[in-house]
């Protein structure tokens, strides 16, 4: 048995609901003959915060992008809300249904600089969901209130700080009413106090709205306090899937222990 296969077979897996909100099975993805996802199985339960950690290039971000449809895996199935949206790496007829249930937030915010906050939030719901201007604005007001940015609804994105832009990016993802929010290193460019505020927004959305959150991060403080689950990637596979307490205080995986110690030092 290879080292990767041995790690995967001994992963300490947290049990989820019988019917998970998202289920990825045997996801495989390679870049230039290097396997980034090597038969990954990953479930997301409703109302759960999953923090994904690991070295750069271990497959964390690629997993999120594959679930969101931003990367096309060579193989594997993805089920969202009980509907098979990807089979054998190919999109199925239910793909659009699944895609509408997943929101993604990026490190770079990806806000349109020539638009104000309201227009940034309402563009996709009006174009994709067919909402009227009044319906979209009402939804935007609610989404911005949820992230503490209601007073900036008419501001241009260029007038906002980095933390404020990230909050707007979260609100924009909420506009599509996702059941799960995928967040890829969304605080890495922010100062620690601002990052803590943004992560606090996610924790509150989980508690108050029942939103499932999958977060790729190096913020071990957030992982230890707010996460229900910690997933450690190693060489394109999930090596450990356990609780933060088990990972940080009772870890018997040498690679995870070395990673956590290095990040804490940094």
Q: What is the CATH number of the domain that holds 72?
A: 3.40.50.300
For range 170-192, the mean pLDDT: 88
Q: Measured between alpha carbons, how far is residue 140 from residues 133, 147, 175 in Å?
A: 10, 11, 7
For range 142-170, the mean pLDDT: 92
Q: What is the mean pLDDT of the chain?
A: 86
Q: What's the CA gap between 208 and 97, in Å, rounded? A: 24
What's the pLDDT band for 35 if we cut at 50, 70, 90?
very high
Quick check: is 73 in a domain? Answer: yes
Closest to 101 in 3D by CA, of 68, 65, 53, 74:
68
- Note whether 34 and 139 are same-domain residues: no
Quick check: is 196 in a domain? Answer: yes
- Note whether 61 and 171 are same-domain residues: no
CB-CB contact of 119 with 112 (8 Å): yes
- Note whether 117 and 77 are same-domain residues: no
- Note whether 165 and 42 are same-domain residues: no
Number of CB atoms found within 10 A of residue 251's CB: 20
In this predicted structure, what is the pLDDT of residue 141?
A: 95
- Note whether 40 and 73 are same-domain residues: yes
Q: What's the CA gap between 97 and 178, in Å, rounded? A: 11
Domain closes at, from 177, 201, 228: 177
Structure tokens at 130: 């067919």
- The tens digit of pLDDT for each residue in 53-89 reads 999 889 999 999 999 989 999 999 999 988 899 999 8
Quick check: is 91 in a domain? Answer: yes
- Note whether 202 and 145 are same-domain residues: no
Q: The domain containing residue 36 runs over which residues?
A: 3-101+180-265
For residue 97, report the phi and psi dihedrals to the nearest 5 degrees: -60, -45
In this predicted structure, what is the pLDDT of residue 108?
A: 81
- Note whether 167 and 189 are same-domain residues: no
Instruction: Kindly tell me if the per-residue pLDDT of 15 is higher than 50.
Output: no
Secondary element (H or E) of residue 249:
helix 244-249
Specify the range with the lowest mean pLDDT, choosing from 60-74, 127-141, 206-220.
206-220
For range 173-186, the mean pLDDT: 90
- Note whether 161 and 261 are same-domain residues: no
What total of structural domains would you count in the chain? 2
Q: Is 121 helix (H, G, I), strand (E, B) or coil?
A: helix
- Note whether 243 and 128 are same-domain residues: no
Distance, CA of 172 to chain centre: 14
CA-angle at 20, arms to 220 and 129, nearest 5°: 95
Structure tokens at 38: 């090597």
In this predicted structure, what is the pLDDT of residue 266?
A: 52
Strands 102-106 and 180-184: parallel
């Amino acid at each position: 048995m290879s080292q990767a296969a041995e790690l995967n077979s001994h992963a300490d897996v947290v049990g989820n609901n019988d019917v998970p909100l998202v289920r990825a099975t045997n996801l495989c993805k390679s870049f230039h003959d290097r396997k980034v996802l090597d038969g990954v199985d990953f479930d997301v339960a409703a109302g759960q915060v999953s923090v994904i950690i690991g070295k750069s290039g271990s497959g964390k971000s690629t997993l999120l992008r594959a679930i969101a449809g931003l990367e096309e895996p060579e193989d594997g199935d993805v089920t969202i809300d009980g509907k098979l949206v990807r089979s054998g790496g190919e999109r199925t007829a239910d793909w659009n249904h699944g895609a509408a249930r997943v929101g993604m937030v990026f490190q770079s915010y990806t806000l349109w600089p020539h638009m104000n906050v309201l227009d940034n939030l309402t563009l996709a719901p009006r174009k994709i969901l067919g909402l009227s201007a009044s319906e979209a604005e009402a939804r935007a007001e609610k989404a911005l209130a949820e992230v503490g940015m209601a007073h900036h609804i008419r501001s241009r994105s260029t007038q906002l700080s980095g933390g404020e832009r990230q909050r707007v990016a979260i609100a924009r993802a909420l506009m599509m009413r996702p059941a799960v929010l995928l967040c890829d290193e969304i605080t890495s460019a922010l100062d620690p106090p601002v990052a803590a505020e943004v992560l606090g927004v996610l924790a509150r959305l989980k508690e108050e709205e029942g939103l499932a959150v999958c977060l790729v991060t190096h913020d071990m403080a957030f992982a230890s306090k707010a996460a229900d689950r910690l997933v450690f990637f190693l060489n394109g596979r999930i090596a450990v899937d356990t609780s933060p307490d088990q990972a940080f205080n009772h870890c018997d995986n040498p690679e995870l222990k070395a990673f956590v110690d290095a990040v804490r030092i940094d």
